[in-house]
Amino acid sequence: MTLFRLCIAITCILATCAVLLGALWAQYGLGEFPCPLCIIQRMGMMLAALGPAWLLCRAARGPVDAHDFAQCYACSILAAVVGGTVSGRQVLIHIAPGDPGYGSPVLGLHLYTWAFIVFVVVVAASAVQMLFLPRRAESHRVGVGARLSVVLLGSIIAVNAVAVFVESGFHWYLPDNPTSNRLLDELRGETPTNDETSNP
């Protein structure tokens, strides 16, 4: 695995981590509680980043060939297609004139619109990588930076899992428009402010 391909994989992981950290900041810094569609989009980004992460883990064990690269970026494309479909649906839900959209806009666009753009970029970047698959197996030392990027991704996935549990509590579904952390409401003995009958 050449240094260039290694750097591309690390960049893909770190870029996705930056987007996910931004989503967490919007949730806890701005009080923007993610809806069910938002959670699915986060899951799509995590799965898309697991492709390059798996490639780095594979490279740490030995040479990687075209089959390994194809599997890695094919997984990213599939995850991005699913996530892009969900974010595209949310864009269309709020596309009517006068609809304020869900949540506050960031740099003029709502988070689900940014998510759609991210998924399109993931598909394009992964497709370009698949156009230049190595002709033979490549090996390269996977350094501390690459390992830390995988650890960072794993940590963000774990934090998101906890965040979803705190927001949903002991319920199978999130309400369409969550306004509080249901688990904390229940632990305090308060009646959740979200509609209990509202399902995605």
Q: Domain ranges for the chain, please list them.
A: 3-187
Residue 48, CB-side half-sphere exposure with 13 Å CA sphere: 34
Are the beta carbons of 65 and 139 closer than 8 angstroms? no
Residue 52 has pLDDT above 80, yes or no: yes
Amino acid letter for position 158: A
Q: What is the mean pLDDT of residues 40-45?
A: 93
Between residues 8 and 187, which one has the greater pLDDT?
Answer: 8
Does the structure show a pLDDT above 80 at 11?
yes
User: In terms of residues, how long is the chain?
Assistant: 200
Query: In this predicted structure, what is the pLDDT of residue 40?
Result: 92
Residues 6+ apart with CB under 8 A from 194: 175, 177, 178, 179, 180, 182
pLDDT of residue 198: 37
Residue 67's pLDDT is 83
Q: Are 87 and 116 in contact (CB under 8 A)?
A: yes
CB 194, CB 178: distance < 8 Å:
yes
Mean of the per-residue pLDDT values for the chain? 84
Buried b (16+ CB within 10 A) or exposed e, 57-91: ebbbeeebeeebbeebbebbbbbbebbbebbbebb
The answer to whether residue 171 scores a pLDDT higher than 80 is no
What is the model's pLDDT at position 156? 94
Task: Name the band, by pLDDT with cuts 50, 70 and 90, for residue 191.
Answer: low
Categorize the per-residue pLDDT at 170 as very low, low, confident or very high, splitting at 50, 70 and 90.
confident
Summarised one tens digit per residue, pLDDT across range 138-159 is: 676 777 888 899 999 999 999 9
Instruction: Report the percent of the chain where pLDDT is more than 90.
Output: 31
| pLDDT above 70 (res 1) | no
SS3 per-residue string spanning the chain = CCHHHHHHHHHHHHHHHHHHHHHHHHHHCCCCCCCHHHHHHHHHHHHHHHHHHHHHHHHHHCCECHHHHHHHHHHHHHHHHHHHHHHHHHHHHCCCCCCCCCCCCECCECHHHHHHHHHHHHHHHHHHHHHCCCCCCECCCCCHHHHHHHHHHHHHHHHHHHHHHHHHCCCCCCCCCCCCCHHHHHHCCCCCCCCCCCCC
Confidence (pLDDT) at 194:
52
Q: What share of the chain has pLDDT > 70, as a percent?
A: 92
